C-alpha cells in the first residue's frame, strides 16, 4: 500500500495501496495491486497514478504490504520510481524489515497474513499539481517472490 499524507494540520497495498493522506488522516488517494498467485514476479512493476492538487502543504507517502506465512525473508528491498507531471524522475532503493531476527512479524496480522505500513517519504512537498506516477518493483535476489498478497 502506498500512502501519501498531507500535513496541513492533515494524513501508499502493493501489492500496495497508494494513499494520499493529510495530517488529520484524510485519505487523499488509495489504490491497490494484487499479486497473481500471491507471487510478485520481478518483471511485474506495480504502477500507481496519484492526482496531487496541494502544492503548499507537506505530505507523507507510505506503502502497505501484505505477506503470507510462505514469504521466505524477514526483509524486502523495493525500487521505487516517482515520475512528476513534468517528467522529472527520481528512483530510490529501499529496504524494510518485515520481521525481527527471531522471526516475529512486524505490523498487524490475521491468520497467516501480515500487514505492515512502510514509510517512504515524510513531510515532502509536491512542487507542482498533476498526476504523479509511482512505479514499484521488488529488489530481492529471486525472480518470483512468494507470499506477497498485495
- State which residues form the domain around 135: 2-146
pTM score: 0.83
Half-sphere exposure of 104 (CA within 13 A, CB side): 2
CA separation, residue 45 to residues 33, 48, 79, 127 (Å): 10, 10, 9, 25
pLDDT digits (tens, 9 = 90+) for 55-81: 998 888 888 899 998 999 999 999 999
Domain count, the chain: 1
CATH code of the domain covering residue 132: 2.60.120
Residue with cell 501489492: 15
pLDDT digits (tens, 9 = 90+) for 89-104: 999 999 999 999 998 8
Amino acid at each position: 500500500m502506498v500512502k501519501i499524507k498531507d500535513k496541513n494540520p492533515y494524513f501508499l497495498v502493493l501489492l500496495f495501496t497508494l494513499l494520499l493522506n493529510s495530517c488529520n488522516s484524510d485519505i487523499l488517494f488509495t489504490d491497490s495491486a494484487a499479486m497473481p498467485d500471491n507471487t510478485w514476479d520481478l518483471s511485474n512493476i506495480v504502477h500507481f497514478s496519484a492526482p496531487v492538487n496541494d502544492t503548499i502543504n507537506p505530505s507523507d507517502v507510505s506503502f502497505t504490504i501484505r505477506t503470507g506465512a510462505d514469504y521466505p525473508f524477514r526483509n524486502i528491498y523495493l525500487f521505487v520510481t516517482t515520475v512528476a507531471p513534468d517528467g522529472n524522475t527520481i528512483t530510490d532503493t529501499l529496504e524494510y524489515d518485515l520481521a525481527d531476527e527471531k522471526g516475529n512479524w512486524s505490523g498487524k496480522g490475521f491468520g497467516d497474513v501480515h500487514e505492515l505500513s512502510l514509510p517512504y517519504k515524510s513531510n515532502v512537498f509536491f512542487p507542482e499539481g498533476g498526476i504523479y506516477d509511482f512505479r514499484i518493483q521488488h529488489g530481492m535476489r529471486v525472480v518470483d517472490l512468494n507470499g506477497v498478497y498485495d
